[in-house]
Structure 1
């Protein structure tokens, strides 16, 4: 059970309170340090999947814990940016992104129980949404527009990517729902 990929996933779960506490510390670089921790967690997400496949260490525990860890840290980050930016459109985006995660997780669970999980497997749109979402969150969490006098525009890019992630999120949810619709409306 405690393979290298599973240890990385468990580390990601353990990083959630560290990430939140560091982000809200009362010191100058707290948000940038929190964004760095979030970035590290996002990298471990890719790395644990790669290692599980490469080393042949895929486990049922890892298949369960990996998406849970992803959703927990992303939801924490979405709540944090909604709090930090306190704007309607970032809050609405955060709510839509979190709602989509709950909806698609429930849909996949239901489809799996019905023996139709492959109907709602991860699509390219879902992967693109995840990439845009992660990059948006890193930029927004960091709050960096300038570094040592040089323009970075991470917040501006983060806002644009959050909008793209929100659109892709709703789009992918509708694609998954369409794929599952005939099973959801079938007679019991």
Structure 2
């Protein structure tokens, strides 16, 4: 895949738009209300869609840039961490789990940077990709938080969903995946380091 030198392209603009969503989500979560949580979920969902879209367009149109390679993972981490941190005082996620997720992200990013500086690429695992999907679903559900009736507002118990319960389920599944894939990165990094010293 060739590297494009023009940074002002549609995929990068979408990435910048995702970064712009970060303060919006944070501001909305300053109020623990059903309405603000709903709009925070809408903004976060739009950001999640652009995460897929900018990568797809960059690959399809061969618009891979240095700026894009830097900003895309940064935007992902900023929007996820901002939402999780803001939900701690709302009681929707435990602080200890958010701390471990942030520690995992910092560690993996550092390891990949060290490997990259040595000309070695540690590819993202499929488990890491699934973790991201489950994490996005979890955050959207946790932002919605309240009970919803998902069939035209009809308050039939069969259509009743406790979004906090759904979000918590996906959150802990993604948490396990995050820790597991983080350990996998550490293992790969150790093998790479051991191989370069042989």
Tell me, yes or no, whether TM beats 0.5. yes
Query: For the structure 1 residues 86 and 139, does the alpha-carbon distance in structure 2 shift closer, same or farther, using more than 3 Å as the test?
Result: closer
| Residue 37 (structure 2) aligns with | 31
1:70 aligns with 76
Matched residue SS, 1:56: coil
Secondary structure of the equivalent of 1:83? Answer: coil
Q: Secondary structure at the match of 1:29?
A: helix
Partner of 1:116: 120
Structure 1 counterpart SS, 2:89: helix
Structure with higher Rg: it is: 2
Deviations 1:144-186 (A, max 9, x none): 3223334123221110111111110010011111111034456
Indicate whether 1:167 and 2:176 are aligned: yes
The alpha-carbon deviation at position 121 of structure 1 amounts to: 1.0
State the distance in 1 between where 2:130 and 2:188 align: 18
| Consecutive unaligned residues in structure 2, runs of 5 or more | 1-6
Cα deviations by residue, 1:29-67 (Å, 9 ceiling, x for unpaired): 001101110111011100100111111211111011000
CA RMSD of aligned residues (A): 1.8
Per the alignment, in what secondary structure is the counterpart of residue 146 of structure 1? strand
Matches within 5 A, 1:42-81: 42-81=48-87
* C-alpha deviation, 1:27, in angstroms: 5.8
- Among 20, 25, 32, the residue aligned to 1:19: 25
Q: 1:167-186 counterparts in 2 under 5 A?
A: 167-184=176-193
Question: What is the CA-CA distance between 1:116 and the residue it aligns to?
Answer: 1.2
TM-score (norm 2): 0.86
TM-score, structure 1 normalization: 0.91
Question: Counting helix residues as a fraction of each chain, which structure ranks higher?
Answer: 1
How many residues end up aligned between the 2 structures? 184
Specify whether residues 156 and 68 from structure 1 end up closer, same or farther in structure 2 by C-alpha distance, changes over 3 A only.
same
Q: Give the gaps of 5 or more residues in structure 1.
A: none
Deviation digits for residues 126-160 of structure 1, max 9, x if unmatched? 00110111110110111132233341232211101
